[in-house]
Structure 1
């Protein structure tokens, strides 16, 4: 009997939202959405937070604190999941994240706020990896593209509603409720995933121990945090700190990332490298595009956010589309996605200069958003397809660490270019050229991301 596309869609939909999986699917989306909303909303509320608890000089520290412990949580959560399964992490990580919300939401001083941000980062990092491991355990290969489409939407929707909601809450209630208001939803998310978590058994063959993992995780956390701080302070001191951060990061990453990641060796190393390339190219543009439109073309802040909204909608739509077509080759979708990001970013070279056409940013970033929806979701599916059961946590943590490192490095590069070349109209075209090259390299290595021989069968990859 031939299976029609409608039958396949129904099968995948039933696996995601049928009686056995509905709660865990909604729980996964909610867990990711909470972290995404907090990251997006805190940026809007932070001026009010710093005005009450500190000074402008303290502005970067709440972000740096979150980034640092996110790295530690990502690495240690991945290791625990491989050794003992994701069960405990899926229960404890949201609890730690929720405790961080409580500590930050009741903060009356900057040190207490930073303590809350440290706890939030630790919980968010471990939780993100555990969700990937849970997806690998409970969903079939055919359903995973659709799951990752939902995960993408869990990031996209908060990027649209997070800042305005956080702004309204801060103005009419208090910035404290940007943190405290999410606490009930953390409990709800845990209750939803609890049935699936109860049925998880420890791995039949736990991963072998990784010596030196904890020191490497701490070193990576300090290095990534220092890069992020240096990117927000493009001074001589920032440049010196960036060099020192790289000196700490390089040996740490040799232990934390799969061998051959820098060379994009065929298999999982190329997937992890691809995550860094796609995150570095896309998210760096989203950090600087509003600056271009406001400083160079005189747009208001609300107007400058429109291309980001359009890009987010393109990302969400493309992620949902690829999720309904599990039979399509992920390698081809990845290459197309990378090329679309390259096209959208290259087109912004006609926007960034003072003589540029500012409105073109809207369709161009829609193109890049579609590319992100295809590429990022495909990389997530390829990551699971190329990982043995005892390595999903390690590989997921490596991919997320590469995301964080790439964003810190290239946003920092943009800050350095602004410090040297002074105006966005001059500095950002240079940055855009670098980011176009990143996306093109991602398209070039796409064939290398195929699962190596010996991996589990992966239709459509």
Structure 2
């Protein structure tokens, strides 16, 4: 089960990274530059809706159904995209693929909650984090080679060869998991699905607006943020906006951590290229340092003895992200050696490795068995929606001028530092009222 689950996570990671490499070639080949942004935004929006549906489905019937449906739709979407003869068809395939990914990602969390004892969950989530490392190291380069020598279609068509055997490895364990008695959807499920659709559309609009310029960009981003402001709180735990103790804060910290890291990650290559003269390859290697240290942090948290307080690892991890990203900001100025920034990014990656698995374990620990699906979907929704918001705002700021300069890069990185620092300050609130924070 562990091998199959990690393989599925690796495939989701590879496809997410490889498509970005292949898409410029795809858009040229299909004469579809006008739909370029929608190929990403549509997949993202479908994934948001699918996460909510998967949480409802898992809680009502167990994770086996959404697991198989997710893999099936993921594979169908890949086939549709890989065989597309028009950009519109590829956009449809990407949306189907994104929907399958959303179903699958939540179901995998519920599988961990039901199949593994609590003392092993930190190690399993560490393995999930590590499953992103190899794709992040070799995925873009491998996708480039596939596009160059085999053709862009094989970036989509090769993945199902591994996906189906991987889910079969998980199947034997799925059959043994507890299945709730057949029941109708929980109260409020229809409304939750509607709010998820609204959040997905708003997130897609936010993604599209972040790639525009001028008044159009500001208008689209403003409308999208308003939509997210209305829809997102209704999909996240009650008390989320006021950082209520326990699960609401856990979900909020996941969003803040993801937004902080992603917000810095998109700025660093541009900053190093324009301000320090780095080649694209050299700038990419700096990001690789963060990916490797993330893996090290995940490995370490899975083998450390359980801390006295459940707030310890999230607080330490987010403090590392804040301190590391602040150190990266110093590398904007030529007087500071680039090695200082690289070391800072390694510290930030280490912090993410400590933070992400510990928040996943806390989510399951704070969830009743019939709430694991809903709460796992909330955790991943916070990750996706916070990241989309920060990336769109960052893209809008950077697109406002052709040469942002040191102050512009420092300003965007400061937003990432602020997100991580806020998370570190709130980390003590992951502790329910009955437990005293250390």
Common fold: TM-score over 0.5: yes
1:355–1:66 CA distance, 2 compared to 1 (3 A): farther
Tell me the distance in 2 between the aligned counterparts of 1:148 and 1:193: 16
For 2:220, the equivalent position in structure 1 comes to 241
Q: 2:55 maps to which residue? A: 78
- 1:346 is paired with a residue whose SS is helix
Note if 1:423 corresponds to 2:434.
no
CA 1:55–1:118: 2 relative to 1, 3 Å: closer
TM superposition score normalised by structure 2: 0.95
Pairing partner for 2:19 from 42, 47, 53: 42
Q: SS in structure 2 opposite 1:439? A: helix
Distance in 1, Cα, partners of 2:345 & 2:272: 13
Q: Secondary structure at the residue paired with 2:253? A: helix
Aligned residue number for residue 310 of structure 1 = 289
Match of 2:240 in 1: 261
1:146 is aligned to 123
In structure 1, distance between residues paired with 2:304 and 2:335 = 42
- Pairing partner for 1:184 from 161, 171, 192: 161
Question: Residues 170-205 of structure 1, C-alpha deviation per residue, up to 9 Å, x if partnerless?
Answer: 111111001111111110111111001112232269
Give 1:49-448 correspondences, 5 Å limit: 49-203=26-180, 208-210=186-188, 211-328=190-307, 329-353=309-333, 356-420=336-400, 422-424=402-404, 425-448=406-429
- Runs of 4+ off more than 6 Å: none
Which piece of structure 1 moves more, 121-130 or 320-329?
320-329
What's the secondary structure of 1:252's corresponding residue?
helix
In 2, the alpha carbon distance for the partners of 1:169 and 1:110 equals 20
Encode CA deviations 1:92-117: one digit per residue, 9 max, x unaligned: 11010010111111111101111110
User: Using a 3 Å threshold, how does the CA distance of structure 1 residues 440 and 205 change in structure 2: closer, same or farther?
Assistant: farther
> Measured at CA, do residues 126 and 453 of structure 1 come closer, stay the same or move farther in structure 2, by a change above 3 Å?
farther
How far does residue 348 in structure 1 lie from its aligned partner after superposition? 1.7
Give the conservation status (yes or no) of the 8 Å contact 1:145–1:326.
no
- 1:354 deviates by 5.3
Q: Give the secondary-structure state (helix, strand or coil) at the position aligned to 2:230.
A: helix
CA distance in structure 1 between the partners assigned to 2:141 and 2:64 by the alignment: 35
Q: How many residues align?
A: 433
CA distance in 1, matches of 2:35, 2:214: 16
- My pick for the range that moved more, 52-61 or 90-99, is 52-61
RMSD of the TM alignment (CA)? 1.9
Q: Distance in 2 between matches of 1:78 and 1:334?
A: 24
Distance in 2 of aligned mates of 1:357 and 1:53: 44
5+ residue gaps in structure 1? 1-23, 455-459
- Report how far residue 54 of structure 1 moved: 2.4
Distance 2:24 2:400 in 1: 27
Separation (CA, whole Å) in 2 of partners of 1:201 and 1:145: 21
> For 1:51, what is the secondary structure of its paired residue?
helix
Q: Distance in 1 between matches of 2:10 and 2:214?
A: 35
The CA distance in 1 between the partners of 2:151 and 2:339, in whole Å, is: 35
Greater shift in the superposed pair: 412-421 or 425-434: 412-421
